[in-house]
Structures are given as C-alpha cells and as structure tokens.
Amino acid sequence: MASPRYRRLGRDERREQILAVARRMFTELPYTEVSTTAIAREAGVQRGLVHYYFGAKRELFLQVVRHLTATLATQLPPLPEGLSLEEMVDLCVAHFLDAADANATTWFAAVDAEGFGQDPELTRIVHRTRDLTVEHLLKALRVPGPTDTLRAVLRAYSGLAEVATREWLQHKALSRAQAHTLLARSLLTLVRDIAPAVERS
Amino acid sequence: MASPRYRRLGRDERREQILAVARRMFTELPYTEVSTTAIAREAGVQRGLVHYYFGAKRELFLQVVRHLTATLATQLPPLPEGLSLEEMVDLCVAHFLDAADANATTWFAAVDAEGFGQDPELTRIVHRTRDLTVEHLLKALRVPGPTDTLRAVLRAYSGLAEVATREWLQHKALSRAQAHTLLARSLLTLVRDIAPAVERS
DNA sequence: CAACGCTATTGGCGATGTGCCAATAGCGTG
DNA sequence: CACGCTATTGGCACATCGCCAATAGCGTTG
C-alpha cells in the first residue's frame, strides 16, 4: 500500500503552519511579490487550502501583521516601583531597545507594514499597537492626569523612536549607547518641558 | 466622415496625462487595488499604452513616488540671513508646516509609500528625499561641522515631525500652534543639547 | 475490523490582471 | 496627395486570485 498522498492535520495545526510560512515570506518580500501559490508551495500544500483557511490573500496578510504587532505588545515589561522619572525613562528606553534588538526583523516588518498604501484596516492595527505602547509609557512614567495632547506628543515621540532604532540597527549610523542617549533625553525633555508648553499653546 | 477613433498626442503630453491619473489613483487607493486597466480607463486610452510608456506597473508607481517626493523637495524655501538659532528654527518649522498643509494629500502619500514592503528602490527614493531635507536643515541652522551622528539625529527628528504632522492634519489631536511648539522646541533641544550628548556617547 | 461520517485537502474552473508585441491608423511632411 | 513615422490599438500568453465541488485521510462506531 502506498503511503497517503497527504497528511491530514488538525485545523489549528495547519493554520499555524501556513501562518508561519506567510509570516516569513511577507517579512522578506514585498506584498505583491508573495503569491499564495508560493506560500502554498513552501507549506507543502495546495493553494486552495490557503484560501480555505484565510479567505483572501489580503486577509492572510492582515493576520500576519496582527501577529507581528501582538508579539511586540506582549514584550512590555513589568514596572518596578519607587524610581525617579530619570531612572524610569532610562529603564523604559533600555527595555525598548532590547525588544527592538531581539526582534529586529519582526519589528521592522510590523512598522513597515503601516504605509502599505491607505489600507484602513491595516493602519488601524498599527495605530492601535502604537497607542498601547503610549499607554504603557504613561503608566510607567506615572504622569499625573495624562491629557490627549500628551498622548499625541508621545505618539510623535514614537515616530522619533522608530527612526532612531532604524539608524541604530539598519543604517548603523548610531551605536546602541547613542540611540539610548537620544531616546532617553528626548523623552525626558518632551514629558517634562515640551509637553506642558504644547498644552499651553 | 467619422471623427478619428482616438486623438494622437505627443509623447510627453500623453505621458504626463497618464502620470497625472496614476498619481491621483495611487494616492487614493492601495497599490494592489489600482489596476493598469483602471488607470487606462480613466485616462481614456487602452491599457497597452500605459505599458508602452512605463513598462511594468511597478515602474509607473515608482515614477509617481519620484514625482511626489520631487514636488516636496522643490518647496524648500530660501534662507534669510542674520537670524538667531531660535528664529531660524521657528522659520523652518513654519515653512515645513505650511508645505505639509498645502500638499497634505501628496505629503502623506509620499511618506506612506515608504513601507510598501521591502522594495529597495522605493525606500532608496524616500530616504534620499529625507536626506535632502536634513541637509537643508543643516544649512539653515548653520551648524558648524555637521557630523554623521548629527545627521542621524536629525533623521530621527524627521520621524517625529512626520507623526506630529499626522497628529495635526489627520488625527487632529494637535492644533497647528501646538504642532509648531512641539516641532520647534524639539528641534532646538535636539540640536543644542541632545545631539552633543549623543556625540559623546 | 469493516463500514461510516466528518472535514481537511485537493484539483480545476472562471475571472481578472499583467507584460508584450504585431498590426493599425492618426497626423505631420515632402 | 502620397508617404512615413510612431502613437495607439487590440489581442495573445501567462500568472494570480477567489471559489467550490469532489476526493480522501482518519477517527468513530456498530
């Protein structure tokens, strides 16, 4: 008797396997250059199965992005007590840089996903995770009565953090120590001096 | 005599017309949802003509992005003489916000284009324009002996500027005055205090 | 342990998009 | 007015996508 033509896996098992392949391919290549055919081939299944599990290709891509951002969100560290603002900023920045370093590929893939061209659902996902980290920052720094304006300032700060991380890990124009100095001092100044001034504007 | 079935235009004329249509569509919809068929239809020509002028669809898209970024680069204002650092920063920020406001659609489309997914040529284009504006900033602020580290810090600043502008024009979480305060004070602190500290790290 | 049932998986159809190119037809020129 | 250049058309070949009916692993049951 010949061995069966294909292994029949459980729903979640197969789903996760295909998702893993898709994750790798979408982080390595532009969206349009990743075909469902190629994903299926690498996963060792027929293309139809990919659509059976995820529907449209776009839906699969969104799943991938959701997973990437979720991965990053869970990396938020616990908050120690009784530190000064300076120490807390230092700690947050160090944690942030560690996380970015450890998941460089994932991190850039997630951040890069944003611009993928006016896709409302996609930008919603990315913005939500950005908001999550901002909330985490607010808690960590114990800012009294955080306003929406402060949140906006911190979101802007996350834009600076994003590029600074790129300058460190990709472009290598900054060392880790330099990136740390830049991020820590910027955050401190923003929260302590600039944000209040912005509030008053 | 029936009127001719199509108007025959000059090479540059038709090129520009198709490019204009592509520009509009690519700034309104995600890449994958803009078909060459649709571009051709809106331009009132056959699809083959689009490929005759631009080759692949990707090439057309790159042309669009090049045009968008070029548009923004030409908006750099001349530099008045004899101002203090503070005044110069104020002026630069004001100019920047004006430009972003006037070309909001174009601006966000260009910025959003970056993430389109690991496309090397595309990121090259976006980075080059970012570098251009950084050089312009350096000239404007008359920083003595700008180092690569300072350039990296300013690129990070442009990340902050990007999100801050979004918070003003899209999310509307900041007023123009607030965005101005945020950008001006951040830039000043970065150049005067933080960048030197980063250099020493 | 053979028959059965559930559903994971296949394989293929139809529609759409892309790249290309030979044939056609505006339109300026001699 | 005839001619030639080339802008423009229209269609072929192929890839991808979305979908779905048929098939076949594999656990369950009598």
Each of the 201 residues of chain B gets a pLDDT tens digit; together they read 557 899 999 999 999 999 999 999 998 888 889 999 999 999 999 999 999 999 999 999 999 999 988 888 877 778 888 899 999 999 999 999 999 998 888 888 877 776 556 788 888 888 898 999 999 999 999 988 789 999 999 999 999 999 999 999 999 999 999 999 999 999 999 999 999 999 999
Tell me which residues of chain B, numbers 23 to 42, contact chain A at a CB-CB cutoff of 8 Å. Answer: 26-32
Distance from CA of A167 to the nearest CA of B (A): 6
Nucleic acid strand C within 7 Å of A175 CB: no
**pLDDT value at residue A117:** 59
| pLDDT tier at A18, thresholds 50, 70, 90 | very high
Distance, Å, A9 CA → D29 C1'? 22
Of B173, B184, B159, residue with least CA distance to A146: B173
Q: Which residues contact A27 (CB under 8 A, 6 or more apart)?
A: A68, A105, A106, A109
**pLDDT value at residue A200:** 96
Q: Which residues contact A122 (CB under 8 A, 6 or more apart)?
A: A62, A65, A113, A114, A116
Nucleotide nearest to A14 (CA to C1'): C8
**pLDDT value at residue A81:** 84
Judged by a CB distance cut-off of 8 A, whether residue B172 touches chain A is no
Q: Which residues contact A13 (CB under 8 A, 6 or more apart)?
A: none
Nucleic acid strand C within 7 Å of A35 CB: no
**pLDDT value at residue B117:** 60
Judged by a CB distance cut-off of 8 A, whether residue A90 touches chain B is no
HEC secondary structure over A4-33: CCCCCCCHHHHHHHHHHHHHHHHHHCCHHH
Judged by a CB distance cut-off of 8 A, whether residue B158 touches chain A is yes
**Which strand D bases fall within 7 angstroms of a protein CB?**
6-11, 15-21, 24-26
Average of per-residue pLDDT across A32-42 = 96
Judged by a CB distance cut-off of 8 A, whether residue B201 touches chain A is yes
Of A90, A173, A192, residue with least CA distance to B195: A173
Nucleic acid strand C within 7 Å of B4 CB: yes
pLDDT exceeds cutoff 60 at A1? no
For chain B, domain boundaries: 11-55, 69-200
Nucleotide nearest to B46 (CA to C1'): D9
| pLDDT tier at A56, thresholds 50, 70, 90 | very high
Average of per-residue pLDDT across A69-92 = 87
Distance from CA of B3 to the nearest CA of A (A): 41
**What percent of chain A clears pLDDT 90, i.e. is strictly above it?**
69
Give the mean pLDDT of chain A: 91
Q: Which residues contact B113 (CB under 8 A, 6 or more apart)?
A: A115, A117, B65, B68, B122, B126
| Cross-chain Cβ contact B118/A29 below 8 Å | yes
CATH number for the segment(s) A11-55? 1.10.10.60
Q: What is the pLDDT of residues A98-150, one digit of tens each?
A: 999 988 888 888 777 765 557 888 888 888 989 999 999 999 999 887 899 99
Contact B36, B51 (CB under 8 A): yes
Spatial distance between the Cα atoms of B109 and B107, rounded to a whole number of angstroms: 5
